[in-house]
Amino acid sequence: MYSSGDHTRFIKQTASRLGFNYCGIAKAEFLDEDARRLEDWLNKGMHGKMQYMENYFDLRVDPCKLVPGAKSVITLLLNYFPGEQQNAEQPKIAKYAYGNDYHEVIRNKLHVFLDEIKIKTGEINGRGFVDSAPVLERTWAQKSGLGWIGKNGNLIHKQQGSWFFIATLIVDLELEYDDPLTKDYCGSCTKCIDHCPTDAILPNKVIDGSKCISYFTIELKDALLPASMKDRFDNWMFGCDTCQDVCPWNRFAKPHNEINFTPIPAVLHFTTKEWNDLTEEQFKLIFKHSPIKRTKFSGIKRNLQFISKHP
């Protein structure tokens, strides 16, 4: 008969074998404080036109609503920091979108992970999530000791910074739990706040999503971007990494070794002219497996026009 300790060791070893950089485990419980904070954030309209943020509120704060009888929340971090960077003159793309779509890459790993847990422990209930379901993954990461939530809203790991995708497995299996990280190591640093091009980062770790460049360039589906934001995007065409680029903790970042995140050549090398000359057929072919397809061809054209220095 295996103990909860045996199962915990197996899960952490499996996480490492599947390529995850860090694994932490927290007890599944209702997120009372987060429920209040999320409700306040939504009431203030900081989600902009991201209506989906209003949906499934009860699922976001109660893991038992996602997996009946949930006992443990397993949090996994996967590094995506690239070894190569774009040229300074190009329309800028957030680093998470350099390679293949992380949703597909991580979802496949989670399927394998859950299957292996079931083989080891017997039939259990469990679900894997990666950024596309109502899970407050950064809270669970902090509760399982993997980092603290910085002033820019990102999870920051003390040894390696914030260039991580966060995945979550919720299971009805009792495990040994890691101690939460209760200390905040941002200190008096305000670099992310000071450098945010659109003043989207507010005090007390509040992010006004409706002002974020990532929101405008990816989430917002309007045909035109707000004139009030003209010349404030700092040449970001898809997403924005400014708050992570300036974070002192990211000096510890190391390049990933996930082959699926190998940069697409066009992302690293396309000039503004090549982006502008791109046809929809070429776009669909080149970015077939890329997160960039999320904003669609029309969105890329809109964003390009908006960051253009020419009227």
Q: List, for residues 169-208, the tens digit of each pLDDT value.
A: 999 999 999 999 999 999 999 999 999 999 999 988 888 9
Q: How confident is the model at residue 39 (pLDDT cuts 50, 70, 90)?
A: low
pTM of the model: 0.92
Catalytic center residues: 131
Average pLDDT estimate for 247-270: 97
- Long-range contacts of 18-21, Cβ-Cβ distance < 8 Å, separation of 24 or more: 18/109, 18/112, 18/113, 19/78, 19/109, 19/257, 19/258, 20/76, 20/77, 20/78, 20/109, 20/167, 21/77, 21/78, 21/79, 21/160, 21/164
The three-class DSSP label of residue 27 is strand
Question: What pLDDT score does 300 carry?
Answer: 98
Q: Is the pLDDT at 209 greater than 70, yes or no?
A: yes
Let me know: does 107 contact 131? Beta carbons within 8 Å. Answer: no
The residues with which 5 forms a beta bridge, in sequence order, are none
Question: What pLDDT score does 112 carry?
Answer: 97
**Sign of torsion over alpha carbons 235, 237, 242, 244:** negative
Average pLDDT estimate for 69-91: 95
Let me know: does 86 contact 93? Beta carbons within 8 Å. Answer: yes
Q: Is the pLDDT at 134 greater than 90, yes or no?
A: no
Question: What pLDDT score does 36 carry?
Answer: 62
